[in-house]
DNA sequence: TAGACTTGTTTATGATATAAACAACAAACA
DNA sequence: TGTTTGTTGTTTATATCATAAACAAGTCTA
């Protein structure tokens, strides 16, 4: 096999976008990610949960101005997985 | 949306590997692709058909030494799509 | 001619992605 | 006050997709 396997958790447009976003920042709020990715709330909620379940991100729930506030932060496992994914997909991109 | 959409036809490990392989060569036989990608015959058959239906590759069926011989070649549409995909996914890989 | 091999296709099913529907609470307004 | 609109997310229903197992059609060989 000349092609490294691609982490199926990251090989999804929205999840990859989320992790890519988080790599650049300390943390990000639900609505910020929503806007940057253009996703629907439902889809984003599902994919954030998946990333959390996988240990790629941590999710903190709080309140601000009386409204729920969900904050996401990349976990070490997520960082490693992202770096690994970036390395792996290079094999596919330059023939 | 800060992230360009990723062509769903190419955003699949096996199909991306196939197209990536084909970019480098004039054409490739079924078994060659099979070996290079490590896929199963069934899965490869399905994904090649999908790439053909999309107009990304052409498939030529013939015989060699009395056995069926399936040969694949990248079509112009496939080349463009691949270049576009490579460009698009860069947004996701460097934060 | 029976059995094993080659080359691929079809199909069955389990997983996945996504949007629609829902929920819980807050604020505005009548 | 109470009802209606807005905010922030979650749950669920469905349609699609990826994959391997089963199948098919022909070939070789003993």
Residue given tokens 């694949």 in the structure block: B72
Residue A29 (CA) to nucleotide C12 (C1'), in angstroms, measures 42
Distance CA A11, CA A17 (A): 10
CATH for the B13-86 domain, from 1.10.10.60, 3.30.390.30, 3.40.50.10800, 1.10.10.10: 1.10.10.10
Half-sphere exposure of B5 (CA within 13 A, CB side): 6
Between CA B71 and CA B43 the distance in angstroms is 16
Number of H helices, E strands in chain A: 4, 3
Q: How far is the CA of A34 from the C1' of C27 (A)?
A: 23
The structural domains of chain B, with segments of one domain joined by +, span 13-86
Computed from CA positions of residues A48, A82, B17, B32, in that sequence, does the dihedral angle turn out positive or negative?
negative
Q: How far is B87 from chain A (nearest CA, A)?
A: 9
Give tens-digit pLDDT for A22-78. Answer: 998 999 999 999 999 999 999 999 999 999 999 999 999 999 999 999 999 999 999
Please provide the distance, in angstroms rounded to a whole number, between the alpha carbons at the two ends of chain A: 14
B38–A89: do the CB atoms touch at under 8 Å?
Answer: no
What would the pLDDT profile of B5-45 be if each residue is shown by its tens digit? 999 999 999 999 999 999 989 999 999 999 999 999 999 99
- CA–CA dist B93, B52 (Å, integer): 28
Q: Are A33 and A75 in contact (CB under 8 A)?
A: no
């Amino acid at each position: 096999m000349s092609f490294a396997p691609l982490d199926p958790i990251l090989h999804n447009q929205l999840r990859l976008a989320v992790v890519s976003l988080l790599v650049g920042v300390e943390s990000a709020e639900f609505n910020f990610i929503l806007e940057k990715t253009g996703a629907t709330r439902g889809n984003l909620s599902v994919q954030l949960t998946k990333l959390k379940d996988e240990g790629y991100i941590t999710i903190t729930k709080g309140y601000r101005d009386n409204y729920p506030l969900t904050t996401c932060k990349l976990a070490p496992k997520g960082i490693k997985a992202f770096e690994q994914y970036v390395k792996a997909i290079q094999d596919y991109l330059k023939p």
